[in-house]
Structure 1
Amino acid sequence: MDITSHVPDAPPAWVKRFAKLGLSAKGIVYCLIGILAFMAAFELGGKNNQDTDKAGVFSFILDQPFGKILLGIVALGLLCYTLWRLIQGINDTEQKGSDAKGIAVRARYIFSGLVYGGFAFLALQLILGNGGGSGGDSRETLASELLKQPFGQWLVGLVAVGTIITGLYQIYYGLSEKYKKKIQKSGFKSQIEHTMIRAGKIGYVARGVVWVIIGYMFLQAALKSNAQEAGGSQSAFAFLENSSYGSYLLGAVALGLICYGVFMFMRARYQEV
């Protein structure tokens, strides 16, 4: 049975608007994560690592003038990103095919959509005043629930390995500049193309480093059978800051995440979706 037959094709203009709004919202989130992490690294403005996960970013937006309206716009953008990714995965708009490799890529699109749908829901919770847990707590909860299952340590270990592989692939994807094919096909001016490629490279590597550290923490949770060892971006930033030259390492990764956010903005503005 062809699953795409049950999902109507979206009008191209509608999909394009959703994609661009979604990429812009993702850019906002990553730029703010990077800025807050950089401030935490050098203790600027009283910021610390407790403010650097997704919930911290959303709370920061909420504390600004017209915060609920601003956060509502971000939540809407993240929801648009979710729908775009689901359309990519289910309708196969990128023509990845139905072989093993194509299914894997489409599954990655769907998973990405679901993750950002969760972020949109978290933002909505904060707007409605229902609180919301931090990214680190959610991963600790996941590790705790998995450890309660039969072969729980192995399950947490599988999550750890998958996360580390994802992070290493992000680093490879950035260093190999595989992402630049779509940029070059769009026929941008050389300066725009150069800036996008450079921002993308730095951004993907920084993002990959964070994923690898999160995977390492899950691995420690598996080996020690202790869910408190697991964590999200907040814990990953704390891990970097507590290392030798920690403030500089965290500052470098933070700047990289800002570059990733800028790359998302430039994709929304210039890249054909």
Structure 2
Amino acid sequence: MGQWANDSDARAARGKGTAVAARAGLAARGVIYLLVGVLALRIAHNGGDGGEQADRGGAVQELAEKPFGQVLVWAVGIGLIGMALWRLSEAVFGAAGPDGRKARARLLSAVRFVFYSVVAGSVIAFAAGERGSGAGSTDEQSKDITARVLGWPAGQALVICAGAALAGAGVWIAVRAALRTYRRQLNLWDMSEGTRRTVDVLGVAGGVCRGLLFATAGGFAIQAAVAYDPDRAKGLDDTLRTFAGTPAGPWLLTVVAVGLVLFGLFSFAMARWRNV
């Protein structure tokens, strides 16, 4: 009873506005992952030709080229601001759920707030006309950041720790998806049995592929630190292209790309049914 009251207090403190921001943010995240997945599918189909960039920048550029593209980019940027504000409210007031007010959950929300603030800022900058911002290559950003940090005192250890953290986060994301822990955050009673089964397919397949992508990128960061070679660090686009270079060829990239599309659709489902 006490925990229920605490959860209700947290909800009241956040207010309805934050719930709207959360759902807008989840929908914006869905758009990004959906487009990245589509771009990765094109890369797999074209053998890497065509100059397309399967990352956030490429997704924003792809969106901008659609009818009413500028409006759509602004909408995604504003949605991501909503995501950042939602995570900030969780860090301050606590998240929904029995463990939402614990220090670990608040710290994780604070980290997500910083991440989505940076992402939202880059997309808004692109929408405002700074084409080098929102559409910047995550590959170049990864190499630049790695090179800068390697030049710091104990920089090699810092990059190894960051890579290990990213790889660990990828494994954590994949395992949680496989265990369907996201169900704790969903209003399952508002969903039909068929809808629950569909959401499970999206959540498990999409989450596992997303986790695999993060873990692989973390592994490349560790390699870059050990070799003291920032060019070995890879952003989202280069990491995805690496899958096509495995013995499985473009088929593995196709599987991961489909997984990212499914995660985008799962984000839309979360925007509709997540308990915020």
- Do the structures match in fold with TM over 0.5? yes
Q: Distance in 1 between matches of 2:255 and 2:70?
A: 31
Q: 1:202 to 1:269 in 2, by over 3 A?
A: same
Q: Distance in 2 between matches of 1:108 and 1:30?
A: 21
Q: CA deviation at 1:9?
A: 2.6
Q: Does 1:22 align with 2:25?
A: yes
Specify the code of the residue in structure 1 equivalent to 2:118.
G
Contact kept? 1:167, 1:211, Cα under 8 Å: yes
Aligned to 1:238, what secondary structure does the other structure show? helix
Contact kept? 1:183, 1:193, Cα under 8 Å: no
Contact kept? 2:149, 2:156, Cα under 8 Å: yes
Q: Distance in 1 between matches of 2:66 and 2:123?
A: 14
Contact kept? 1:31, 1:258, Cα under 8 Å: yes
Specify the code of the residue in structure 1 equivalent to 2:113.
G
Partner of 1:36: 39
Q: Distance in 2 between matches of 1:181 and 1:263?
A: 15
Specify the code of the residue in structure 2 equivalent to 1:73.
A
Q: CA deviation at 1:51?
A: 1.3
Partner of 1:239: 242
RMSD: 1.9
Contact kept? 2:24, 2:271, Cα under 8 Å: yes
Q: Distance in 1 between matches of 2:38 and 2:100?
A: 39
Q: Distance in 1 between matches of 2:268 and 2:187?
A: 17
Q: Distance in 2 between matches of 1:153 and 1:181?
A: 39
Partner of 1:82: 84
For structure 1, list consecutive stretches of 5 or more residues without a partner in the other structure: 1-7
Q: 1:201 to 1:217 in 2, by over 3 A?
A: same
For 1:204-263, what per-residue CA distance to the aligned partner results, in whole angstroms no more than 9, with x for missing partners?
100001001101110111111011111211111111111112211011001101111111
Contact kept? 1:53, 1:233, Cα under 8 Å: yes
Aligned to 1:207, what secondary structure does the other structure show? helix
Contact kept? 2:14, 2:93, Cα under 8 Å: no
Contact kept? 2:25, 2:83, Cα under 8 Å: yes
Partner of 1:10: 14
Match of 1:270 among 245, 269, 273: 273
Partner of 1:177: 180
Q: 1:173 to 1:151 in 2, by over 3 A?
A: same
Q: CA deviation at 1:93?
A: 3.2
Q: Distance in 2 between matches of 1:141 and 1:163?
A: 17
Match of 1:60 among 62, 83, 86: 62
Question: Which structure 2 residues correspond to residues 97-246 of structure 1 after superposition, within 5 A?
Answer: 102-130=102-130, 131-132=132-133, 133-183=136-186, 185-246=188-249
For 1:26-75, what per-residue CA distance to the aligned partner results, in whole angstroms no more than 9, with x for missing partners?
11111111111111111199645x41110111111112222111100110
TM-score, normalisation: structure 1: 0.90
Contact kept? 1:96, 1:103, Cα under 8 Å: no
Partner of 2:8: none
Q: Does 1:260 align with 2:263?
A: yes
Q: Distance in 2 between matches of 1:217 and 1:163?
A: 10
Q: Distance in 2 between matches of 1:96 and 1:144?
A: 38
Match of 1:72 among 74, 99, 102: 74
Q: How many residues align?
A: 261
Q: Distance in 1 between matches of 2:241 and 2:274?
A: 35
Q: CA deviation at 1:113?
A: 2.2
Seq. identity, %: 25
Q: Distance in 1 between matches of 2:42 and 2:185?
A: 34
Partner of 1:93: 95
Aligned to 1:179, what secondary structure does the other structure show? helix
For 1:95-144, what per-residue CA distance to the aligned partner results, in whole angstroms no more than 9, with x for missing partners?
6366xxx3222221221222122121111222222222222222222211
Q: CA deviation at 1:159?
A: 0.7
For structure 2, list consecutive stretches of 5 or more residues without a partner in the other structure: 1-11
Q: 1:44 to 1:229 in 2, by over 3 A?
A: closer
TM-score, normalisation: structure 2: 0.89
